[in-house]
Chain A
Amino acid sequence: MKRKALKAAFPYTLPICIGFLFLGISYGFLMQSKGFSWIYPFCTSLFIFAGSMEFVTAELLVSAFNPIHAFLLALMVNARHLFYGISMLSKYRHTGLKKLYLIFGMCDESFSINCTVTPPEGVDRGWFMFFVTLLNHFYWVAGATLGGLLGYVIHFDTTGIEFVMTALFVVMFLDQWDKARDHRPALVGVGCSLLCLLVFGSSSFIVPAMALIVLSFLLGQSKLEQEAKP
């Protein structure tokens, strides 16, 4: 049963494999360029397993010690997981102990596969989702550790490598844009964020931006839902 699920899950994770190795190696390089040994990217990729927040953590580790700020920032950056979780409440039902790991490893990519892919006939759904999550987790840790190790051997000017995170989000934004029929949610996100950035400045705009986004959706909900009805 497990082997069948692993075989079914693997093809879906291949694109993620290439992407995670590439991004993970970049992340390992970035950590190395900031003076951290490979142990750091290994541990952060294994235990945090939230790509964007790990890049942010690299920044936090070279700033002044402030764990409360780190905690709050991680809450904000990862708040989207709350909504992934809400979307997966029914799908993760009846998966037994695996559920704990499925929730722990619910990164953007594992979520997007588990949320959209129906496993083939005869494959256990719980194990399928488990292996999607496990394989993605493995690729990411392997990439980050490899990047950290390669940093010892390969030397080049890494100035600007942090843009890999921006590029990732821009591409995710474009993909979502193509898939969505209604572009207003995406525009609300960009608009509210830009507005709050200009009003509150770069160090404190995230909390007001999140609040403004949620408020906009709550106020616009009845209008959007009416339009959605045929």
Chain B
Amino acid sequence: MTVTQSILTILAVVAATMLTRFLPFLVFPEGKNPPAVITYLGTVLPYAVIGLLVVYCLKDAVFTAWHGLPELIAIVFIVILHKWRKNTLLSIAGGTILYMVLVQNFFA
């Protein structure tokens, strides 16, 4: 990719990101209330989207030779660590380091 193409790609991402942030405020300007169904989606979707993003992160791992085994081990580790210490950064750092050790040494 050339530098111009890189800049265009980043601009496309910026434009789409800003669209998702500004659209609700453009559609429902101050003083106008959104319909009940939109408000309802606003309460349940944040939960579902995080689930979607977890699956998105694992999308390629499932179809590799190990079928996501190192990812699964690291995620189980994160769950146990997080239930135990309730420390967000420790869980993220611990899981990432374990995963790096796994893929660099045992699942290479």
List residues of A whose CB falls within 8 A of some B CB: 15, 18-19, 22-23, 26, 40, 43-44, 47-50, 52-53, 57, 60-62, 64-65, 67-68, 70-75, 77-87, 89, 92-94, 99, 103-104, 106, 157-161, 163-176, 180, 185-194, 197, 202, 205-206, 209-210, 213-214, 217-218, 221, 224-225
Contacts and interface: CB of A to CB of B under 8 A. Distances in A.
Interface residues of B, number: 69
B59 A205 contact: yes
A213 B54 contact: no
Given A44-B10, A48-B14, A61-B10, 10 more contacts: A44-B13, A57-B9, A57-B13, A81-B21, A85-B25, A104-B21, A164-B92, A167-B99, A172-B50, A173-B54
Q: Is the interface of A mostly helix, strand, loop or mixed?
A: helix
A169 B50 contact: yes
Contact of A70 (B9, B44, B46, B55): B9
Q: Is the interface of B mostly helix, strand, loop or mixed?
A: helix
Give the 8 A-B residue pairs with the shortest CB-CB distance, closest first. Answer: A189-B51, A189-B48, A85-B24, A74-B16, A193-B55, A185-B47, A160-B100, A190-B51
B62 interface: yes
B46 A176 contact: yes
Interface string B13-26: 11111111111110
Given A166-B58, A217-B40, A193 B16 contact: no
Interface of B: 1, 5-6, 8-25, 28, 30, 34, 37-60, 62-63, 71, 74-75, 78-79, 82-83, 88-89, 91-93, 95-96, 99-100, 102-104
